[in-house]
């Protein structure tokens, strides 16, 4: 596999991660043999340090540092929430034109043995801004109504909790299409059958940061592609 490189200098490298690819080796998917960190390391012939993560089913901008020092500097930016992240998603229903979701969420247990311990933890602050980009009405009875409605939405997380966007959309009763954990199976199945869509319709489209060495503002972008792009073009502003 060859990963598309969005940006590279002697300090940072950013790729467009495809949906379905792990960021790094994980016990959750211990049988998986390919992950972005390994592929990119072999591709550029240099060790890389992941600076954040994207869920396996999420595509888009993924940033790596090329040294421990740069990784530490960027880690401070993430901790201080100095970066701006933008995602696109397709969700069920007509979401409001814009708003802020300020809804704490509990950590997600990766293993069954951790569920009881995680359940005892306090919910963590989680804030997401959103803006509706378009709507789509289809003449199909997917659930209980004779027509089905969907929204194309831009999401701007201000915090970085695990599964934050997926959980927040579920909280608003507008789950992301293709989400097997927090979504609606009937709508997921409809998109598989009608659009041949077999992925989570969530993509990290833009990341804006201050370069850790030059201190200049840097905006990295990854356009949605493939089936996601084809479906997004059907939405009307």
Instruction: Give catalytic residue positions.
Output: 55
Contact assessment for residue 3 and residue 17, using Cβ atoms and an 8 Å cutoff: yes
The string of DSSP codes covering 91-149 is: EES---SEEEEE--BPPPPSSGGGHHHHHTSPPBP-EEEEEEEEEEEES--SSSSSSEE
The DSSP element (H or E) to which 230 belongs, if any, is: helix 226-232
SS3 42: helix
- Angle value at C-alpha 40, between 37 and 43, nearest 5 degrees: 150
Pairing label, strands 59-65, 202-210: parallel
Give 151's strand partners. 91, 135
């Amino acid at each position: 596999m060859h990963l598309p490189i969005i940006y590279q200098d002697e300090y940072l490298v950013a790729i467009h991660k495809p949906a379905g690819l792990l960021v790094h080796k994980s016990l959750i998917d211990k049988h998986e043999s390919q992950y972005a960190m390994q592929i990119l390391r072999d591709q550029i012939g240099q060790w890389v340090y992941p600076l954040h993560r994207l869920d396996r089913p999420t595509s888009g901008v993924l940033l790596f540092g090329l040294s421990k020092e740069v990784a530490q500097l960027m880690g401070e930016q993430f901790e201080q929430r100095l970066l701006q992240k933008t995602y696109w998603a397709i969700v069920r229903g007509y979401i409001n034109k814009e708003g802020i979701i300020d809804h704490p969420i509990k950590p997600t247990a990766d293993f069954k043995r951790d569920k009881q311990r995680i359940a005892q933890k306090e919910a963590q602050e989680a804030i997401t801004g959103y803006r509706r980009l378009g709507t789509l009405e289809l003449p199909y009875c997917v659930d209980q109504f004779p027509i089905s409605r969907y929204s194309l939405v831009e999401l701007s997380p201000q915090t970085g909790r695990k599964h934050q966007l997926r959980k927040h959309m579920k909280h608003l009763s507008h789950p992301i299409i293709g989400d097997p954990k927090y979504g609606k199976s009937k709508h997921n199945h409809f998109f598989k059958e009608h659009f041949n869509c077999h992925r989570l319709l969530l993509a990290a489209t833009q990341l804006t940061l201050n370069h850790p060495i030059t201190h200049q503002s840097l905006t990295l972008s990854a356009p949605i592609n493939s089936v996601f792009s084809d479906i997004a073009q059907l939405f009307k502003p």
